[in-house]
């Protein structure tokens, strides 16, 4: 059986992908804003699908009620 695991991105990868600083992502986490994240112990990771949904929700014509910053 070939199970595809979701891609877990570091905060540095997500910051680079979104053209943001890591400090911005950290501030968003503290304010419960930004893309959803998961913790593995002390490690913070972002699932690629969650980041993609977050970006889509930030579009002016994105789905109503989606993630807004």
Percent of the chain topping pLDDT 90: 72
- Residue pair 36/46 in contact (Cβ under 8 Å)? The answer is yes
User: Taking the model in full, what pTM does it have?
Assistant: 0.77
Q: H/E element holding 33?
A: none
Contact criterion met (CB below 8 Å) for 1 and 9: no
Once rounded to an integer, what is the mean pLDDT over residues 33-62? 92
Domain ranges of the chain: 8-58
CA triple 62-66-69, angle to 5 deg: 95
Contact 25, 62 (CB under 8 A): no
């Amino acid at each position: 059986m070939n199970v595809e695991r979701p891609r877990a991105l570091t905060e540095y990868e997500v910051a680079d992908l979104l053209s943001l600083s890591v400090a911005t992502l950290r501030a968003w986490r503290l304010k419960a804003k930004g893309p959803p994240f998961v913790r593995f112990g002390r490690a913070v990771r972002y699932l690629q699908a969650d980041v993609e949904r977050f970006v889509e929700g930030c579009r002016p014509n994105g789905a109503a009620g989606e993630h807004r910053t």
